[in-house]
Structure 1
C-alpha cells in the first residue's frame, strides 16, 4: 500500500514545506502503508496549453516532466492532498497540475490537510467537485491548519490535537484504499 502526500504549493517560501515534513513525521510511525512525499514544485509544470485532452494521452505524455508527475501519482493507492487556500479557492499551480492528468488517480481515495486563514476549508470545498470530475473518491476527513494560530512565519506549529486528527485521516485513507483495491 502506497499513499502519496501531495504538496500542492509551488510558491517560494511556502508554508507547505514545513507542514509536509510534519505530516511525513507522523506517517513514519505507521507500518500499514508506505507514505511518500510528492512535491509538485519538483515537476516544474508549465501552464496547460496543450490542445489534446489529457485523457486522450492514455497515460503516455509527450513532456517528460508531465510524465514524471503522472507516474508519481499513478504509483499510489491513495492520497493526502496538502493544499493551501488562495483567494478563497484552490491554488492555481495545483489545479493546473491536476488538469494535466487523465486516469492516473481515478478511483482512488483523497483526504485533505489544508492551510490558510480559516484553515483553508474553502479550498477543500472547491476541490471536492474537481475530484468528482476526475473520478477520485473524496473522503470526508480533513485537517485544517490556521495560518494565524498554527504557523510561526512559514513554520507549522499545529495545535496539540492535530497529530491525532492526522492519524485518523491516515487510517481513513489506508482503509479506503484497501477496500477499493479488493
Structure 2
C-alpha cells in the first residue's frame, strides 16, 4: 500500500483590523459665568487625544440655551437648541461628564440635559471627571450615579477628581503635577472602553430591552 505524505502549508492569517473608535460625548456640565470647567475639560481632552479607541465630541452646556421648564411639545426655539445636543447623545457609544460640585450636588444645567433625554442614555457607559473644593466634586458624582441608573446607563467605577481644583492648574491651563491625575484618567478610559465595546457588541446581537 502506498502511503502519500501530504505537505501541510502554513497559512499566516492577516492581522485583525482594529475596531472603529467608540464615539464619545464629553459633556461639560457647568454653564456658570466665570466657570473653571473649561480648564478641566481641556485637560481631559488632552488625555483623550492620546488614545485611538475614542472619537470625542464636546457637548458644552454653556453653549446650549435650554429652559428649565420641560415640555412634551417643545417650542421651535427649544427644538433648535435640542438639535445641537440630542443627535450627539444619540450617536454616542459612551459618555464622560465633567462636573463641578455646587452645594453638595451637580449643576441644574446637567439635570436639565439628562431629563430631556432617555433612550439616548440607555445601555451606555458613563464616566465622571469632577472638580471642587475639599471633596473634589465626588458628592456630585455619587448623586449622578443614582440619576444615571434611572436612565438605564452604566456608570464606571473609576473617576478623575480634582480637589481644590483652582490651585492645581497654572495660568496656562496645565496641571502642575499631573501624574496621579493622568493615571486616574487612564483607568477611567480603560474601563469606559471595555464597557463601551461590550455594550455595543451586546446591542448588535440583541437590542436593549428586547
Is this a same-fold pair by TM over 0.5?
yes
Per the alignment, do residues 153 and 88 of structure 1 end up closer, same or farther by CA in structure 2, a change over 3 Å counting? farther
Does residue 176 in structure 1 map to residue 195 in structure 2?
Answer: yes
Does residue 32 in structure 1 map to residue 45 in structure 2?
Answer: no
The structure whose RCO (Cα within 8 Å, separation 6+) is larger is 1
Q: Deviations over 1:67-118 (max 9, x none)?
A: 3221111111001110110000111111111111121111100011001111
Secondary structure of the residue that 1:37 maps to in structure 2? strand
Q: 1:82 aligns to what?
A: 98
Q: 2:157 aligns to what?
A: 140
Instruction: Note the C-alpha offset of 1:147.
Output: 2.4
RMSD value, Cα: 2.2
Secondary structure of the residue that 1:87 maps to in structure 2? coil
Instruction: Note the C-alpha offset of 1:66.
Output: 1.6
Per the alignment, do residues 152 and 95 of structure 1 end up closer, same or farther by CA in structure 2, a change over 3 Å counting? farther
> In 1, Cα distance between the equivalents of 2:101 and 2:73?
27
Which of 12, 30, 34 matches 1:13? 34
Q: Could you tell which deviates more after superposition, 159-168 or 72-81? A: 159-168
> In 1, Cα distance between the equivalents of 2:87 and 2:81?
10
> In 2, Cα distance between the equivalents of 1:105 and 1:36?
15
Instruction: Note the C-alpha offset of 1:132.
Output: 0.7
Q: Deviations over 1:14-58 (max 9, x none)?
A: 1110111111111111112212222122221111332x399xxxx
Q: 1:45 aligns to what?
A: 66
Q: 1:157 aligns to what?
A: 175
Per the alignment, do residues 158 and 144 of structure 1 end up closer, same or farther by CA in structure 2, a change over 3 Å counting? farther
Give yes or no for contact 1:109–1:177 (8 Å, CA) kept in 2: yes
Does residue 72 in structure 1 map to residue 88 in structure 2?
Answer: yes
Stretches of structure 2 that go unaligned for 5 or more consecutive residues are 1-21, 202-210
> In 1, Cα distance between the equivalents of 2:173 and 2:157?
26
Q: 2:13 aligns to what?
A: none
Stretches of structure 1 that go unaligned for 5 or more consecutive residues are 55-60
Q: Of the two, which has the highest radius of gyration?
A: 2
Q: Could you tell which deviates more after superposition, 63-72 or 16-25? A: 63-72
Q: 1:109 aligns to what?
A: 125
Give yes or no for contact 1:20–1:37 (8 Å, CA) kept in 2: no
* TM-score normalized with structure 2 length: 0.76
Please state which structure has a larger fraction of its residues in helix: 1
